């Protein structure tokens, strides 16, 4: 697995992946940063396209990503993560809505758990999922970053 760090307007990010695609995009400034594993090789070259697209996103010039993704998860998690990628830029869904979209309307809690286990932050936009009452709920990067990303996407804020 290859990895690199990227500095961004929302803090330091860890990118990791292999020949199949990006496997991890993790916030490094939070309370539980992911550290490179044994045998991981530091190399920015495989992440050039990812970093360029993230920079354009943070600058407000990109609304969708088109980089190869290869998250590791259960079939249910992968289904939830694919559904997250269908939430339009600038919109939010509740956990219940996300559960309905994957045809598991009674699985809001399981959807929430899968959302929390999303290994590819920002690109797989778990920040677009909020509570049924419109409140911001947990986020791996912290609620401040979740709010910043939602404000960026709503046009309320520039991150640069």
Pairing, β 21-27 against β 129-130? unpaired
Q: Is 126 a catalytic residue?
A: yes
Coil, helix or strand at residue 57? helix
C-alpha–C-alpha distance, residues 33 and 14, integer Å: 9
| Dihedral sign from CA coordinates of 129, 133, 134, 139 | negative
Distance (Å, whole) CA 41 – CA 93:
37
Q: Which positions ≥6 away from 141 have C-beta within 8 Å?
A: 10, 11, 27, 29, 30, 121, 127
Of the candidates 22, 126, 129, 149, the residue annotated as catalytic is: 126
Name 130's bridge partners.
94
Q: Give me the active site residues, please.
A: 126
């Amino acid at each position: 697995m290859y990895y690199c760090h990227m500095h961004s307007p929302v803090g330091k990010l860890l990118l990791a992946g292999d020949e199949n695609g990006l496997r991890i995009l993790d916030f490094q400034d939070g309370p539980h940063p992911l550290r490179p594993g044994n045998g991981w090789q530091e190399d920015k070259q495989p992440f050039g396209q990812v970093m360029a697209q993230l920079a354009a996103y943070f600058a407000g010039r990109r609304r969708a990503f088109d980089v190869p993704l290869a998250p590791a998860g259960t079939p249910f998690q992968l289904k939830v993560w694919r559904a997250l990628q269908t939430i339009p830029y600038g919109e939010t869904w509740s956990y219940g809505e996300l559960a309905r979209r994957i045809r598991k309307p009674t699985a809001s809690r399981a959807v929430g758990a899968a959302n929390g286990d999303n290994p590819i932050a920002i690109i797989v936009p778990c920040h677009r999922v909020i509570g049924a009452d419109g409140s911001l709920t947990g986020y791996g990067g912290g609620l401040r970053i979740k709010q910043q990303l939602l404000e960026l996407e709503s046009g309320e804020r520039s991150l640069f």
